[in-house]
Amino acid sequence: MPTEPPYLRIAAALREEISQGERPPGAKVPSTRQLASTHGVATATAAKALDVLRRERLIHAEPRSGHVVAGQHAATESKRPVLTRDRLVRTAIAIADAEGVAALSMRGLAARLGVPAMAPYRYLSGKDELVFLMADTVYGETGYPAREPEGWRAQLELSARTLWSVHRRHPWLAHLVPLTRPWPLPNLAAHNERALAALSVFGLNAADLCDLNVLFYNHIQGTAIHLERERHAVGASGITEDQWMETQARGYAALTGSGRYPVLARMVQDLAEGYDLDLDHLFEIGLQALLDGLAVRYPVGGKVSGRLA
């Protein structure tokens, strides 16, 4: 798992020195050149570290002196909101939303909040507990109307779209909880309860009911996984989806021109004017196809014995 960016590590080290009194008010802060040399980073990275502390008002620039420790840093610290488990979790969610879970670490979280590196451990045992609480928190962000819609299909549509909206807001979520090793998240259980209640109308045994619930959730999670993957691909490659497709044009031309894949070739030719893969649209198509299949396979109130064929 990648650690926090180098500039946050540098900022955290300086912040610790200031909080421990090693750099008292008025003391000069190392220049970007000195920090770059000491930590083996680019001067731009060192400058970002100083910018973090400047925004936190722990240091300020003085003419001809560079950066110095602010005289009121202790007062500034006392005005910060009290550190709590909820504040840690909410801040971690914001980091994951912006940068992905891979960019999250306990030290980086402390740096973001401007507290000593070990401060989060007073409230959390470690990153595993933090991520567990993050997932449960976001699953609990969206509720349901007090009055249920009529019919199992409308109920499942509401449940699916509600969960999809959660994954839409937090693309990292789909990568956390494997279907084969589910987590005991209370707020996810609330979503499951609604889906199970709607599916129960088919009169299935427990094993089949569980299979259908997993299948239902898998459609949501399986589609949502690509939200984060595309964002990661853009970040890693530096190019958009359309730009990436342009780089693959020669390879696809070889495939479609080989004569071995005639249906693929016709489809690609028909889409020559352009095609946008819309995950929201794909989610809706898959949801309706899944519900259509359930409606055909199971008569409402019908009893089905044994495992699904």
Q: Does position 297 have pLDDT exceeding 50, yes or no?
A: yes
**Burial of residue 232 (number of CB atoms within 10 Å: 0-12, 13-18, 19+):** middle
Per the CB < 8 A criterion, the answer to whether 176 and 138 are in contact is no
Tens of pLDDT, residues 267-285: 888 877 777 778 999 999 9
Q: Is 223 exposed, middle or buried (0-12, 13-18, 19+ CB in 10 A)?
A: buried
Q: Say which residues have a Cβ less than 8 Å from residue 290's Cβ, sequence separation at least 6.
A: 215, 216, 219
With 50 as the cut, is the pLDDT of residue 308 above it?
Answer: no
What's the chain's average pLDDT? 85
Specify the range with the lowest mean pLDDT, choosing from 118-122, 168-172, 232-236, 286-290: 232-236
Write the DSSP assignment of 124-150 as a string of letters: -SSHHHHHHHHHHHHHTS----SSPPS
Give the Cα separation of 208 and 212 in Å (integer): 6
Average pLDDT over every residue of 295-307: 62
> What is the value of pTM for the model shown?
0.67
User: Where are the strands (E) in 183-297, listed by range?
Assistant: none
Which residue from 305, 306, 301, 294 is spatially nearest to 202, judged by alpha carbons? 301
For the ranges 92-101, 189-198, 258-267, the maximum mean pLDDT occurs at 189-198
Give the separation between CA 184 and CA 284, rounded to whole angstroms: 28
At 307 the pLDDT is 38
Q: Determine the pLDDT at residue 265.
A: 84
Cβ burial of 266 (10 Å; 0-12, 13-18, 19+) is exposed
* 41-69 per-position pLDDT tens digit: 898 888 888 988 888 888 988 766 688 88
Instruction: Kindly state the average pLDDT of the residues 237-246.
Output: 69
Q: Give the per-residue pLDDT at 255.
A: 80
Compute the distance between CA of residue 1 and CA of residue 12 in angstroms, rounded to an integer.
19
Per-residue pLDDT at 80: 54
Could you give the CA distance from residue 35 to residue 49 in angstroms, rounded to a whole number?
A: 9
Q: CB neighbours (10 Å) of residue 165?
A: 12
Whether the Cβ atoms of residue 172 and residue 235 lie closer than 8 Å to each other? no
- Whether 134 and 93 have beta carbons less than 8 Å apart is answered as yes
pLDDT tens-digit readout, 122-177? 999 999 999 999 999 999 998 888 888 999 999 999 999 999 999 999 999 999 98
Q: Could you give the CA distance from residue 188 to residue 180 in angstroms, rounded to a whole number?
A: 15
- pLDDT tens readout for residues 162-200: 999 999 999 999 999 888 888 999 999 999 999 999 999
Its sign, for the CA torsion 129, 135, 139, 140, is: positive
pLDDT at 74: 44
